[in-house]
Homo-oligomer: A and B are copies of this chain.
Amino acid sequence: MPQSANVNRSIVLQQRPQGAPDADTFRLDESPVPVPQEGQVLLRTLMLSLDPYMRGRISDAKSYAEPVAVGAVMVGGTVSRVQASRHPDFQPGQLVLCYSGWQDYALSDGAGLNKLGDDAQLASRALGVLGMPGFTAYMGLLDIGQPRAGETVVVAAASGAVGSLVGQIARLQGARAVGIAGGADKCRYVVDELGFDACVDHRAPDFAQQLAAACSSGIDVYFENVGGAVFDAVLPLLNTKARVPVCGLIADYNATTLPPGPDRLGLLARTILTKRIRMQGFIIFDDYGARYGEFFAQMSRWLDEGKIKFREDVVDGLENAPQAFIGLLEGKNFGKLMVRVAPD
């Protein structure tokens, strides 16, 4: 189902999921392509980023951002081409990084649009290694995690968009990087291709023991992006003065109730006290927006020098975005997940 010049396909939130999103969560709507008014640009989506944070946006639980309304177009970062422009700063054909959501076309008044120049390679990188996921890994690890040479850094979803970079940046600081991933293929990739010191399969029945063995000197930085059973295995391994940047909790996103007891809230507080741990949540652009330039320059340098590798998992067709997103929450993607909405 290719992109059309006359129809705007959009994926809207049909109903809020109870637990995991399913086939009834989203719906594909069609409408006429909107017409830009004076001061507006019409954007045509080429590439759509799918990210775990979107699970929060389709829930009405209180969070850091307003939820997507039922019936509204799903939000999301995109790389788009300017299709028509009545805005003095934009010309048809220009490539921009924007937040058009899960649809073929969107209008913009220019606010928040970032021109990507003519570098075709940037189109996907801008959604991954050089975009929000890369910025998240960079700031969370370096500003909150503050790994030192010889320390052990642990990150889950280690073959994913954020985790893969956390471990590689940790190694560039001289730290040991221990990844956690789902399945032998991903673990092999994390060690052999990304250069982590070790990677443990969280599906293994003796996962906690394997993690302890891989972290024989304990854990100094745990970059939290999953929560759940992984955090349970990490908690007893945290060293005195460990740092825990909290960027996501994907294992809990589909939960509708709290798990059964005992209640370990006090246990976590006691661990933070007795081990003098710093645990800190962050939302990348809200907390670090002013430092995006610093990140972009450093990460570009590392990419040029071949010091950072990344992997993209590209799904074709806007209509396949819902299924790809559901798979993302189950760990089915392998690398930064994005949807090619149009070949160009």
A-side residues, CB < 8 A to B, are 56, 62-64, 224, 227-228, 231, 240, 246-249, 252, 255, 257-270, 272-283, 286-287
Contact = CB atoms under 8 A, between A and B. Distances in A.
Given A248-B273, A274-B63, A263 B266 contact: no
16 contacts: A64-B240, A64-B274, A227-B269, A231-B266, A249-B269, A249-B273, A258-B263, A259-B263, A264-B265, A276-B282, A276-B286, A277-B281, A278-B279, A278-B280, A278-B281, A280-B280
Contact of A261 (B240, B255, B259, B281): B259
A276 B280 contact: yes
A227 B274 contact: no
Listed from nearest, the 6 A-B pairs whose CB atoms lie closest are A261-B261, A258-B262, A264-B265, A273-B281, A278-B280, A272-B281
Contacts of A249: 266, 269-270, 273
Contact of A281 (B247, B257, B274, B281): B274
Contact of A268 (B260, B262, B268): B268
Nearest to A56: B274
Nearest to A247: B273
A332 to B, nearest CB: 23
B258 A266 contact: yes
A157 to B, nearest CB: 15
Nearest to A62: B274
Nearest to A255: B266
Nearest to A65: B274
A260 B259 contact: no
Contacts of A224: 269, 273
A144 to B, nearest CB: 9
Most buried by B among A252, A259, A266, A280: A266
Contacts of A268: 265, 268-269
B274 A280 contact: no
B266 A252 contact: yes
B279 A252 contact: no
B265 A276 contact: no
A248 B56 CA distance: 33
A264 B262 contact: no
A232 to B, nearest CB: 8
A56 B267 CA distance: 14
Nearest to A282: B276
A278 B277 CA distance: 10
Given A261-B261, A280-B279, A287-B276, A266 B227 contact: yes
A260 B261 contact: yes
Given A63-B274, A224-B273, A278-B278, 6 more contacts: A62-B274, A227-B266, A263-B264, A264-B264, A276-B280, A277-B280
A272 B259 contact: no
Given A277-B281, A278-B280, A281-B274, A262 B257 contact: yes
A23 to B, nearest CB: 27
Nearest to A260: B261
Contact of A275 (B64, B231, B261, B274): B64
A246 to B, nearest CB: 5
Contacts of A56: 274
Contacts of A281: 272-278
